[in-house]
Amino acid sequence: MNADLISAALRGCDMARAGRIRSRAARTIRGMRRPFIGGNWKMNTDHASARSLAHAIAEGTGADWAADVVVFPPFPYLLPVAEAIAGSPVALGAQDLSGEVNGARTGEVSAEMLRDVGASWVIVGHSERRHTIGESEALIADKLSMALGSGLRAVLCVGETRAERDAGKAHDIIAAQLRSALAAIDAAAMDDVVIAYEPVWAIGTGITAQPADAGEAHREIRSALAARYDARLASGVRVVYGGSLVPATAKSIFAVDGVDGGLVGGASLKAHDFLALCTAATVGVAAS
Ligand code: PGA
């Protein structure tokens, strides 16, 4: 393997750790939740465009950026993206991981491998993995435990389908997804979890949830967290929104009380739009 790439990845990892310590300190001092914004590139980009997108995002974020900014490229581009963001405040995340440690799992990628190439975050329970690929609640719970137990931070996605919402079951579905995923996660590990409320009907459809609906879902998520843990923990966990976020819709979503940022798909593939969303999250979340 290319030694320069590996050392760049490790530098990225150190940056991520330093950012993590700073972010906890900032939260403690101000008693506020630090905004989080993630770019989920899904199965998009190629080697060259992944590098240039990562470079542009790294260049657009200053040293004292007041939000956690994380990019989630496809597996093959983790190392080149680690190199491109090294020395910037942008952290590296993966879109998935195995629930197993290692061994005979053809095609799978372990938590240790992700850490080895400089990833500090991973997405767990994305609706495309739940509904298109068919991951079970049990597998999602295993993946979350594996991520946190291996020192990765996780974005746990929850959200209802259109049919579930129309049947008035949205809140029950979200609460059940949280109960199942968090059953084996203790309170201390929740420092390393961001919850993403991603209504399935809003993902990739161009339909952003109404701010009031997003606000209601976020309140439900916090009350489910309070029931599982306690009110203090529930008010400290970051809960972000995902689903057709674009600069034009972000302002009203980020202004909602309890929305701490976003997980962005389509708009994260354009540096200009993603950076506008990062700025909106920093400004909007701080003001809400
Ligand atoms: P979208 O995707 O912004 O393209 O709707 C969001 C996500 O899937 O995380």
Each residue's pLDDT tens digit, 223-253: 999 999 999 999 999 999 999 999 999 999 9
Task: Please tell me the predicted confidence (pLDDT) of residue 286.
Answer: 54
More confidently predicted of 64 and 169: 169
Q: Which residues of 192-227 are buried (b: 16+ CB within 10 A; e: fewer)?
A: bbbbbbbbbbbbeeeebbebebbbbbbebbbebbee
What are the angstrom distances between the C-alpha of 193 and each of 8, 80, 107, 212, 233? 25, 26, 26, 24, 11
Question: Of residues 83, 135, 198, 220, which has the active-site annotation?
Answer: 198
Rounded distance from Cα 109 to ligand 1 centre (Å): 22
Q: Which ligand 1 atom lies nearest to the CA of residue 263?
A: 9
Q: What is the mean pLDDT of residues 13-42?
A: 61
Q: Is the CB of 265 under 6 A from ligand 1?
A: yes
* Residue range 120-130, pLDDT digits in tens: 999 999 999 99
Q: What angle do CA 146, 98, 138 make, to 5 degrees?
A: 70
Task: Please tell me the predicted confidence (pLDDT) of residue 62.
Answer: 80
Q: Which ligand 1 atom lies nearest to the CA of residue 205?
A: 5
Mutate to test the pocket of ligand 1, among 245, 246, 269, 273 (most ligand atoms within 8 A of CB): 245
* Residue range 35-45, pLDDT digits in tens: 999 999 999 99
Rounded distance from Cα 262 to ligand 1 centre (Å): 9
pLDDT at 30 over 50: no
Rounded distance from Cα 242 to ligand 1 centre (Å): 6
Using a pLDDT cut of 90, give the percent of the chain over it.
85
Q: What is the pTM of this model?
A: 0.89
Q: What is the mean pLDDT of residues 47-71?
A: 94
pLDDT at 10 over 50: no
Task: Please tell me the predicted confidence (pLDDT) of residue 287.
Answer: 59
Is 171 marked active-site?
A: no
Question: Of residues 83, 126, 164, 218, which has the active-site annotation?
Answer: 126
* Residue range 87-121, pLDDT digits in tens: 999 999 999 999 999 999 999 999 999 999 999 99
Of all protein residues, the one whose alpha carbon is nearest to atom 7 of ligand 1 is: 265
Q: What is the mean pLDDT of residues 19-40?
A: 63
Closest CA to 214 of 202, 228, 225, 205: 202
Q: Is the CB of 204 under 6 A from ligand 1?
A: yes
Q: Is the CB of 37 under 6 A from ligand 1?
A: no
Task: Please tell me the predicted confidence (pLDDT) of residue 11.
Answer: 37
Q: Is the CB of 284 under 6 A from ligand 1?
A: no
More confidently predicted of 134 and 288: 134
Q: Is the CB of 245 under 6 A from ligand 1?
A: yes
pLDDT at 23 over 90: no
| Max avg pLDDT among 11-25, 237-251, 273-287 | 237-251
Is 83 marked active-site?
A: no
Residues 242 and 224: their CA atoms lie apart, in Å, by: 19
Of all protein residues, the one whose alpha carbon is nearest to atom 3 of ligand 1 is: 265
